Structure 1
Amino acid sequence: MQKRGKKTIVFGGGGHAHLYSLRRTHELTAQRFEVVLVNPSRFLYYSGMAPGMLSRIYRPEEGRIDIKYLVEKGGGRFVKDYLTEIHPDSGEISLAGGRTIPYDVMSLCLGSGVPNQDFAASIDHLTPVKPVENMENLYWKLRGFEEWNGRPRVLIVGGGPGGCEMACNCRKVFEDHGIEGQITIVDANPELLKSAPGKARRIMREFMQRRGIEVLTGTRVVKVEDGVAHTQDGQRLRFDLLILAVGIKPPDIFRKSGLKVAYDDGLWINEHLQSVTDPRIFGGGDSVAFRGEPLTRLGVFAIRQGPVIFHNLQAFLRGEPLKKFRPQPVFLYILNLGNYEGLAIWGPLVWSGKRAWDLKHYIDTRFMRRFQYPEDRPGEVAEYFERLSEEDVCDVGVNIESPGALRAATGGTPCSATDDVSSLAREKAAGGVPLGYRKRTRRGGHIPSSTWLNWKRSLRRDNTMKPAAELREMFDRAGFDPNGELIVYCQSAACSGHQLFALKLLGHDNVKNYDGSWKEWGNSELPIQTRPDRLTTVADAARPYAAGVLGLAVLWMAARRLRRG
């Protein structure tokens, strides 16, 4: 095939290792590179929030990134399709829809899946933990047990980080919806979290016991039939739902395309994240094997590979030196234990509880803010949503099934199978405020004479409302007059609706919610104040910085300990 004038950079898959480049598509197109992203959905679901999506700590729209938006805002092209074969000889890729796309250089981040083990007679019995979209389907399967008369049994096969997070967050779903169910986690290894420090393994086992989760270690499942898992030692474990979390495996497309792969079919890459078969191909994330060996499959490595991939794609086309990727020997990972507690592991350091969860939440939400509908000019996001097709609007992720698809498409809005998904989704995205998008304004500040009161202060840790006495004391301290007129607002009149509800419950009848809120006021010429008269205490002022300070302190202590040891 004859090449075009522009050099073409193809991104195969919209995985975590590609986010850095996709956010900077405009830098590539400014250099007259053609940029093409191929992915079966316009959304990437962030793996760090996957367990929280299962337990509804996070809504689906809070845990996904619109990668179609990222590439198109920079002048690139999005192709919604599956990549089926790579042709290094001709420099092309084949797609499931029958098209071929040429590449001058390409990066592949195709993710991974949970292999269907030999013990499973049919995949109908299994709900694997990957891809991340399965969390939405799994949530609705668990909710389906609300209609049961008996005691549902959930069996989780695999005692690694993923399996442990699944068990803890399944328990939260049961507790939140009054489901009296049994949860069992089974693993062939003698301990859960076999590669973690001993303290982490001990904390996890004790936590499982407190949460009423049965743990069967040293137990290998060898066969699965309808509702029964057979173990090597002859046990028959009955289940109503089986979750498979026994490790993840790259797709077999690299091997089938004649590229050199590792023992697990991961694309073999060198220190430049470059294929050893075709130097025009780079890769990152779970689908590659760094120098022939897969790295620990955590998002931290994929994220750190992003800047190296971005540099090396350009350097290769210019004939310039490539950068090396240096995996960090010690890394932090925090497990979501399902009840706003976390288990943090950084090398030999281990700690758990609310502070570990706070740090994880801070890291994850800060990361998402970088990529969820960033605007480089006012109105950019609204324009994008105006040109979306009906098919694009209804695209909520690969293989998300009803009713999960309907609910995810509408940001959690209850609807039935007969509802028009596209109209509901468009209605939710009306006014230029799409799902997962924090609308920005021309000016920062607040409405003169208003008092700032964080709506989350009305909630307990478990997201339930505080008692009336505590709420009344909080509003009284803020100076709210129960007999006067009150107007509440926030960025887009959503969070302020929560405070409206709380005030109504306390007997404040003369309360209104400013529908335009700051998205209207901040973009107008109305007067503003830039030094808000906030209701603060020392704790309120310090809270936004607490997670960051905690993280730095932990890293400092870990570095000292490593130097001594």
Structure 2
Amino acid sequence: MQTPEQPVLRDIVLIGGGHSHVGVLKRFGMKPIPGVRLTLICRDTHTPYSGMLPGYIAGHYGYDDVHIDLSRLAEFAGARFYHDEAAGLDRAARQVLCKSRPPVPYDHLSINIGSTPQVRRVPGAAEHALPVKPIHRFNERWLALLERVRSHAGATRIVIVGGGAGGVELTLAMQFRLRNELTAMGRDPDELAFDLFTADECILPTHPDKVRRAFERRLEQRGVRVHAGCPVSAVEAGTVRTVDGQSTSADEIVWVTQAGGAPWLEESGLELDEGGFIKVRDTLQTVTDPDVYAAGDIASVVNHPREKAGVFAVRQGPPLARNLRRTALGKAPKPFRPQKRWLALISTGDQYAVASRGTLGFEGAWVWRWKDWIDRRFMRKFSELPTMNKHRP
């Protein structure tokens, strides 16, 4: 950790507490660089691990099980923690503009803020739908929905918009939890109805046929109505409308699709792709500015395009930390090549999961236990921090 007597020679500023940046903080805490100061700018004091959120929704984990304490991690890394939100960049002055505090100067900058559902692309979605991100707002509404279902006598219909892994997994997790809540109260769980809408012709379009069929069967068995090839064209209070003119009533509308970059990036001067994500080189440096890095969902690796998945943000943590370290020491950063095939473990809500990798797919309760072990091991890296000598050079 940085001692008060050490002069600050270089400032590394981290925007966002995503999966890549928690890895950076951990590594700099284990091996600090004298004279290099870290600053974390993040709206949240606890950052969720996306891989465990469906399990949290389903009731298998508590809040602390699935969140990393950023305040504690920043202290471990000897980093300043500004509880705020980035609002822009002044790259000429090398400053991060914040919503509530004065600008933060940097020598090297890294952005790991995830993606933002683009609810404004569909009329009424911003006003009447619940986007999954930011997670803290979704959690507040989810807890309110839990209470509403408990106290409301009668039918409840929930609509999920988005047929990718996130939408399918969230649908099954919510259904499992809410049905259990009603059963525990002696009520009929069939009071609940779920509809899943996707613009694609099928759910899970980027996954193998075997995996897709497994989830199609599971959704059918659980009574979830799937509306494939039905792009949502408008959202009104209590109603979802599709491009073919059909309408579906809903007590809650959850938005898990059409993610993009934060609006302030459009004025940053950084080159973005068509989705609003920051274009980066193999080194994770932006194509615009070698002193600005980006990782996770917000980054678009030009030479290695991949779908947005938490596994890539986690895997980018070590090379991002290495390259920030090398840059601060005046060394050239090294390229990072993401894997072409990756493992996705998609849960079904009921402590059962399906594995998807390349063209392969397999499933079972044992897959969920494997996923649970992997996820808990990841979280222990940040909850069981070693005791470090704060006064080391």
TM-score normalised by structure 2 residue count: 0.91
Q: 1:172 and 2:183 equivalent?
A: no
Q: Deviations over 1:270-300 (max 9, x none)?
A: 1110012111111100111111775211111
- For structure 2, the residue ranges without an aligned partner over 5 or more in a row are 1-6, 183-188
Q: Does 1:358 align with 2:369?
A: yes
Aligned to 1:230: 241
Equivalent residues in 2 for 1:264-279 (5 A)? 264-279=275-290
Counterpart in the other structure of 2:154 = 150
1:287 to 298, 303, 328: 298
Give 1:25 deviation, angstroms: 2.9
1:187 equivalent in alignment to 2:190: no
Once the two structures are superposed, the pairs formed by residues 109-508 of structure 1 within 5 Å of their partners are 109-121=112-124, 123-133=126-136, 134-178=138-182, 179=189, 180-291=191-302, 295-376=306-387
**Is the 1:266–1:294 Cα contact (8 Å) retained in structure 2?**
no
Aligned residue in 2 for 1:100: 103
| Residues 317 and 204 of structure 1: CA distance in aligned 2, closer, same or farther (over 3 Å) | same
Q: Distance between the aligned counterparts of 2:125 and 2:335, measured in 1?
A: 43
Q: Give the residue type in structure 2 aligned to 1:356.
A: V
- Cα 1:30–1:24, aligned 2, differ >3 Å: closer, same or farther? same
State the shift of 1:228 in Å. 1.3
CA contact (8 A) 1:127 1:138 kept: no
Aligned partner (choices 63, 74, 91) of residue 71 of structure 1: 74
> Which whole-Å CA distance do the structure 2 matches of 1:20 and 1:377 have between them?
17
**Which amino acid is the alignment partner of residue 165 of structure 1?**
E
Q: String of CA shifts for 1:506-529, please: whole Å, max 9, x gaps.
A: xxxxxxxxxxxxxxxxxxxxxxxx
| Identity level (%) | 30
Deviation sequence 1:246-276 (CA, Å, 0-9, x none): 1321212222111111111111111110012
Instruction: Provide, for residues 50-105 of structure 1, a one-character-per-residue CA deviation record: whole Å limited to 9, x for no partner.
Output: 11111221111110001221121232211111111111111111111141111111
Offset, 1:48:
0.6
- What is the CA-CA distance between 1:5 and the residue it aligns to? 4.7
3-state secondary structure, aligned to 1:123: helix
8 Å contact from structure 1 (residues 187, 216) kept in 2:
yes
Structure 1 residues 26 and 231: CA distance shift in structure 2, 3 A: closer
- The residue that corresponds to 2:49 in the other structure is 46
User: Helix, strand or coil: the match of 1:308?
Assistant: helix
Question: By how many angstroms is 1:151 displaced?
Answer: 0.5
Distance 2:105 2:87 in 1: 14
- TM-score normalized by the length of structure 1: 0.64
Q: In the aligned structure 2, how far is the partner of 1:36 from the partner of 1:286?
A: 21
Distance 1:292 1:101 in 2: 31
Read off the aligned partner of 2:247 and give its amino acid letter. R
CA change 1:122–1:263 in 2 (3 A) is closer
Shift of 1:353: 1.9
Please report how far the alpha carbon of residue 122 of structure 1 lies from its aligned counterpart in structure 2 after TM superposition. Answer: 5.2
Contact (CA 8 Å) 1:50, 1:135: kept in 2 or not? no
Q: Counterpart of 1:24?
A: 27
Question: Structure 2 counterpart of 1:95, which letter?
Answer: C
1:164–1:153 CA distance, 2 compared to 1 (3 A): same
Q: 1:173 to 1:120 in 2, by over 3 A?
A: farther
1:242 and 1:109 map into 2 onto residues whose CA distance is 28
Distance in structure 2 (CA, Å) of the matches to 1:351 and 1:140 = 35
Letter in 2 for 1:176: N
Tell me if structure 2 keeps the 8 A contact 1:261–1:292: no
Contact 2:198 2:230 in 1 (8 A): yes
CA contact (8 A) 1:50 1:132 kept: no
- State the structure with more CA Rg: 1
Q: Which structure would you say has the larger RCO, counting Cα contacts within 8 Å and 6 or more residues apart?
A: 2
1:307: how far off?
1.1
Residue deviations 1:439-466 (CA, integer Å, cap 9, x gap): xxxxxxxxxxxxxxxxxxxxxxxxxxxx
Match of 2:185 in 1: none
Q: Is the 8 A contact 2:304 2:338 kept in 1?
A: no
Q: Contact (CA 8 Å) 1:288, 1:294: kept in 2 or not?
A: no
Structure 1 portions without partners, runs of 5+: 381-565
Cα deviation, residue 26, structure 1? 3.1
The answer to whether the 8 A contact 2:8-2:37 is kept is no
Pair 241,215 (structure 1): closer, same or farther in 2 beyond 3 Å? same
TM-superposed deviation, 1:360 = 0.9
- Of 127-136 and 334-343, deviating more is 127-136
Is the contact made by 2:285 and 2:291 (CA closer than 8 Å) also made in structure 1? yes
Q: Assess if the C-alpha contact under 8 Å between 1:114 and 1:248 holds in 2.
A: yes
Q: Which has the higher strand share?
A: 2
CA–CA distance in structure 2, aligned partners of residues 363 and 286 of structure 1: 21
Question: In 1, distance between residues paired with 2:87 and 2:151?
Answer: 41
Return the alpha-carbon distance in structure 2 between the equivalents of residues 368 and 346 of structure 1.
23
Matched residue type, 1:107: S
Q: Deviations over 1:170-203 (max 9, x none)?
A: 1112221114210111112221111111111111
User: Does the CA contact (< 8 Å) of 1:70 and 1:373 recur in 2?
Assistant: no
C-alpha separation in 2, matches of 1:202 and 1:221: 23
| Distance in 2 (alpha carbons) for counterparts of 1:129 and 1:122 | 12
User: What is the aligned residue count?
Assistant: 376
Contact persistence 1:113–1:251 (CA under 8 A): yes
The CA distance in 1 between the partners of 2:40 and 2:229, in whole Å, is 44
CA distance in 2, matches of 1:230, 1:26: 50
